[in-house]
Amino acid sequence: MFTLRFAFKNIISRKSSLVIVLFIAFSIAILVMANAIFDGTGTGIEKTFSSNFTGDIVIRPKADFPMSLFGDETPATGSLSELPQLVPYPELIKLLEDTPEIESYVSQVTSQGVIKANDESTTGVLFGVDAEDYVKIMDGIKIISGSPYKEGEKGIMLSTSMIENLQSDDKAPLQVGDSIQLLFSNGASPSIREAPLSAIYEYTVQNDLQGKIILVDPDTLRSLTDIKNFSALEATIDDANSFLIDDFDSIDDMFSDDAGLLFEEDGESEVAETAEPVVEEVFTEAEIESASWHYVICKSQNASAGIKKLNRTFAKNEWNIQAINWRTAAGMSAQYLYWMRLIFNIGIIIIIGTGFIVVNNTLVIAAMDRTKETGAVRAIGASRSFIAVEYLLETAMLTITAGIVGCILGVIGNAVLCSFNITISNTYLIQLFGGTTLSTSVTLSNIGSCMVLSVLLAIVGWFYPVHIALETSPVVAMEGVR
C-alpha cells in the first residue's frame, strides 16, 4: 500500500504526467475509432453478400474443384464442368427443418448461359430458385416492378443492371410479361428455352458480380441444361431390384417355373402387378428432377455454430456434402473485397503503430529522466524490488488511466462520426461498408483489445527504464550520469 501511495504522489507531483495521459488517451481513442471502422467493413462485406445471394450458410456437395455459388471456379473449365448434386436431398431437408440454428432455407440450381431479349444478348449466371422463398431470405433484394414467380410457375427475374445490358436503343424498355430467351451450350447442340419476365428488382448494395445473376424457375433451368438426378435414379433402381430379389428365398428360385410369373407379358401375375406401380412411380421424371439441386442456402443467427453442427452430422451419416460460410460460398468473387479491406486496415494499423512507438518512447524518456531521483531513493535504503514495483505501478496507473479515458473519447468520437450520416458515393467503399452511409460501431471486444494494449504499453514502458535504473549505481544515478 505504501508503494502504491508513493507511486501516486510521484505521478501527481510531475507536470508531465497529464501530458503523457492525454497523449496516450488520444492514441487509444484513435485506435477505438479505427477498430470500429474495421468492424464496419467486416460487417459491411458480409452484408453485401449474405443479404443478396449467399445467405449465412450454404450447403453444397463436396467436389474436387473450387466450387462456389457461381459454379466451378477453375479458370480453364469453370463454364463447362458439371456440378455434382446434393445427395441425399430429402434427408438433408428434414435435417435442416430439425436444426434450430437454421431459420429458413431455399434450394438452388446453378448454371451459366446466355440471356436474350430485344435483339440484345449477354452472358450471365443462372440461379434456379423458388423466387418467393428466395426473396424472403435475401432481404437485400428490392422488387421494382412485377412480383416473384410462384412455385411451379415459369418465370425470370432480372436486376436493373441486367435490364440495362439488354436495353436496345430502337426497342421499347423491357417490361414485366415480356418473353425472355435463355440459351445454353456445353459442347453439344445448344438448347433454347423461353420464360416470361415476372419481376424486375435491384440490390440495396450494387456490385458487378450481382449484375450477372439471373433468377429463373428451377424447372426451366433443368430443362435448359438437361439436369437429371442420376443419383436418385440409381437409388431407385437399387430399391426396385431389392424388391424383386426379396420375393425369392434363393437364387435358384429365381429360375423356377413359378418365377415365370414375373415375366408374363400379360402382366396378370401378383408380383408383376405389385412391382409395376413401384417402378413407374419412382421413375416419374418430375419426381427425379424435383430432387436435383446443387445448393441449399440458409439464414441463421448463429452461422458458425450451425456450420459445425451440420458438418458433424454429415460426417456421422457419411454424406458427401458440407456446410460452408458466406465467404467460401461467394468464392473468388469476394476475394477482391477482402483484399481491399486488408489493405485499408494495414494502412490504418501502420499509422496507429507509428503513434504508439512515439507513446512508448515518451514513457521510456519520462522514466529515465527520474534516474537521479531513483538513485536518491536507493541511497536511503530502498530495495531493488521496491524500485521495480514502484516504476511498474507508476507506468500502469498512467497507461490504464489513459486507456480508460481514451476508450471513452473513442466511443464519443464514434458516436459523433455516425451522427453526421456521412454519405458514401464510391462503389468499392459502398461494398466495404454494406451501404451508402458510413456505419461503424464500438464493440466490447474493441474496448477490451484497447485496454489490453494499455496494459502492454505499461509493461513495455516499464521494462527498459527500470532495467537501466537498477543497473546504475546510486552514486552515479544521483550525479545524473548515465
| Burial class of residue 278 (count of CB atoms within 10 Å of its CB; 0-12, 13-18, 19+) | middle
Q: Which pLDDT score, from 0 to 100, does residue 230 have? A: 44
**How far is 410 from 373, CA to CA, in rounded Å?**
36
Instruction: Catalogue the long-range contacts made by 344-352 (C-beta closer than 8 Å, 24 or more residues apart).
Output: 344/41, 344/432, 345/38, 345/41, 348/34, 348/37, 348/38, 349/34, 352/27, 352/30, 352/31, 352/34
pLDDT in tens, 59-94: 999 988 888 888 877 765 444 567 899 999 999 999
| C-alpha cell read off for 42 | 467486416
Determine which of 44-48, 269-273, 473-477 has the lowest per-residue pLDDT on average.
269-273
Above 80 in pLDDT, residue 377?
A: no
**How far is 309 from 316, CA to CA, in rounded Å?**
11
Which of 42-56, 258-272, 336-350, 406-420 shows the highest mean pLDDT?
A: 406-420
Q: Which pLDDT score, from 0 to 100, does residue 267 have? A: 43
Q: Which pLDDT score, from 0 to 100, does residue 13 have? A: 67
How far apart, in Å, are the Cα atoms of 27 and each of 347, 352, 399? 16, 7, 11
Residue 186's nearest CA partner among 84, 79, 109 is 79
Above 50 in pLDDT, residue 98?
A: yes
Helix, strand or coil for residue 456?
helix
**How far is 349 from 355, CA to CA, in rounded Å?**
10
| C-alpha cell read off for 122 | 449477354
Residue 245's nearest CA partner among 234, 224, 259 is 259
Q: Which residue has the cell 435435417?
A: 95
Higher pLDDT, 228 or 301: 301
Q: Which pLDDT score, from 0 to 100, does residue 358 have? A: 72
Helix, strand or coil for residue 360?
helix
Answer yes or no: are the C-beta atoms of 207 and 51 closer than 8 Å.
no
Determine which of 81-85, 261-265, 344-348, 414-418 has the lowest per-residue pLDDT on average.
261-265
Q: Which pLDDT score, from 0 to 100, does residue 104 have? A: 95
Answer yes or no: are the C-beta atoms of 31 and 448 closer than 8 Å.
no
Q: Where are the domains of the chain?
A: 2-49+336-478, 54-226+292-328, 230-289
**Average pLDDT of every residue of the chain:** 77
| C-alpha cell read off for 302 | 448463429
Residue 199's nearest CA partner among 139, 124, 135 is 135
Q: Which pLDDT score, from 0 to 100, does residue 259 have? A: 44
pLDDT in tens, 242-298: 444 444 454 445 444 544 444 344 444 444 444 444 434 444 444 444 568 999 999
Residue 299's nearest CA partner among 47, 42, 87 is 47
| C-alpha cell read off for 469 | 535504473
Q: Which pLDDT score, from 0 to 100, does residue 337 have? A: 61
**How far is 396 from 147, CA to CA, in rounded Å?**
63
Determine which of 32-41, 318-327, 348-357 has the lowest per-residue pLDDT on average.
348-357
Above 80 in pLDDT, residue 236?
A: no
Determine which of 139-148, 189-198, 304-313, 387-396 has the lowest per-residue pLDDT on average.
387-396
* DSSP state letters, 231-268: HHHHHHHHHHHHHHHTT-SSTGGGGSGGGGGGG-TT--
pLDDT in tens, 422-451: 877 766 666 666 667 777 878 888 888 888
Q: Which pLDDT score, from 0 to 100, does residue 477 have? A: 57
The fraction of the chain above a pLDDT of 70, given in percent, is 69
Q: Which pLDDT score, from 0 to 100, does residue 330 have? A: 85
Above 50 in pLDDT, residue 6?
A: yes
| C-alpha cell read off for 372 | 537521479
**How far is 182 from 220, CA to CA, in rounded Å?**
9
The H-assigned helical ranges of 298-383 are 303-317, 326-330, 335-368, 371-379
Q: Which residue has the cell 466490447?
A: 444
